[in-house]
Chain A
């Protein structure tokens, strides 16, 4: 019996954990799919969509960059895949209106200039997050 346990975790909360048939995401080396019995792997995850297939159901997550690890679980025959993300949410939880608002405020701040280097990179990161949310959240509706 082989199976796959998937965990999607952020520092603030464990978003999802359970049995799955596949984990689909993209690393800096390209798209990949993790199935049961996958070889132990460690890698990064580029900002984008992470999908978990659990039986007939599919759960989609919006992950703003992170890492993943695949390895054998304590239980024999079980493969464990962990996705660690600084910021992530379920695509169904994305607040499109809020993302739009934060995108606009970030753009306004950037166009005004007058930001020092750290502030600018923070605003740019916020803008990138808002755009990703809009891209993924807008598509699902």
Chain B
């Protein structure tokens, strides 16, 4: 009977509206997190730039040491790949695009005959790779939304150990870079050996390069400095990943809210028509019944 259909529709509308409430709330939360994570990127920038300046200074001062630590390896037998993804889904293409980029890199390294070891960051990553038969050696999760520097330190230690031990010749990082609120780019870059940072430096090249004094000596200093530089790079990647995640989630949830609005409207229209139909039918029945009674008298 028509009344039954009306009840089903009313239930569906209610469920769509409940979903809309959730997506709207997630959208608002993500939007507030965007501002916060962007502020954290800005707060981190002076440190990161300062670290890159020091590394470059040290590299220019002593090329022989720098070459050992920074030059591209001649032959890469084994490489470590780090992929930074999210802890949560419902964030549009954020997770899938970075995970797919990681998979592409792994495949291309494997084709060159390199043994690949994989470390992942974020809850979403291990399931993706295990399903595709790629072994995940180690995984970090639980802090991706709001990374702390200590998290970066833990990851850096896990990456540096096999490199220092000589088990791998190269460490690659796949993460999402937060270019601006409108643009986030998935990028693969070499973490170790440390690549010479291209600093957008304000300082003029005064021709004084190489005259920098070091205390203690460069060689000693680089031993201390290299792990710190690694931590700094990972931390900035984590921060930018978090900002990208929130941006992506906000966008996805805004779209979901719009869809829920549209669906709710369509369903309401169908329901109104169904109700109108049933009312019309009922009136027809009453009128018909009354007619029958009168003519029966």
Q: CB within 8 Å of B: which residues of A?
A: 7, 9-14, 17, 27-29, 32, 39-44, 67, 69, 71-74, 80, 82, 84, 86, 118
Interface centre among B46, B153, B157, B232 (most CB of A within 10 A): B46
Per the bound structure, the CA–CA distance linking A29 and B214 in Å amounts to: 10
**Nearest CB in chain B: distance from A114 CB, A:** 21
Interfacial residues of chain B within 43-67, with CB under 8 A of chain A in the complex: 43-44, 46-48, 50-51, 53-54, 57-58, 61
- Contact, CB under 8 Å: A84 / B54: yes
- Chosen A-B contacts, 14 in total, with CB atoms closer than 8 Å, are A9-B50, A11-B47, A11-B149, A12-B44, A28-B216, A39-B213, A40-B212, A41-B213, A41-B215, A43-B221, A44-B215, A72-B203, A74-B202, A86-B153
Complex Cα gap A7–B148 (Å): 22
The interface bits of chain B over 9-44 (1 if a CB of A lies within 8 angstroms of the residue's CB, else 0) are: 000000000000000000000000000000010011
Q: Say yes or no: A82-B149 contact (C-beta < 8 A), given A12-B43, A27-B215, A43-B214.
A: no
| Contact of A28 with B215 in the complex, beta carbons under 8 Å | yes
Chain B contact residues: helix, strand, loop or mixed? helix
> Which residues from chain B contact A7 at a C-beta distance below 8 Å?
46, 50
What are the residues of chain B within 8 A of A44 when measuring CB–CB? 215-216, 221, 224
Residues on B facing A (Cβ under 8 Å): 40, 43-44, 46-48, 50-51, 53-54, 57-58, 61, 148-149, 152-153, 157, 202-204, 206, 208, 211-216, 221, 224-225, 228, 231-232, 235
Known: A71-B203, A72-B203. A11 touches B232 (CB 8 A): yes
The answer to whether B203 and A14 touch across the interface, beta carbons within 8 angstroms, is no
Residues A82 and B208 in contact in the complex (CB < 8 Å), given A17-B46, A42-B58, A43-B214: no
Interface contacts (Cβ under 8 Å), in number, total 98
A71 partner residues in chain B, CB cutoff 8 A = 53, 57, 203, 212
Chain B residue with Cβ nearest A43:
B215
Q: How far is the CA of A45 from the CA of B215 in the complex (A)?
A: 10
A28 to B215, CA, bound (A): 7
Q: Decide yes or no: A12 and B204 within 8 Å by CB, A42-B212, A44-B216, A84-B51 being known contacts.
A: no
Please state if A14 and B43 are interface contacts (CB–CB under 8 Å).
yes
The 9 A-B residue pairs with the shortest CB-CB distance in the complex, in nearest-first order: A74-B202, A43-B215, A40-B212, A29-B215, A82-B50, A9-B46, A9-B47, A11-B149, A41-B213
Complex Cα–Cα for A17 and B216 (A): 25
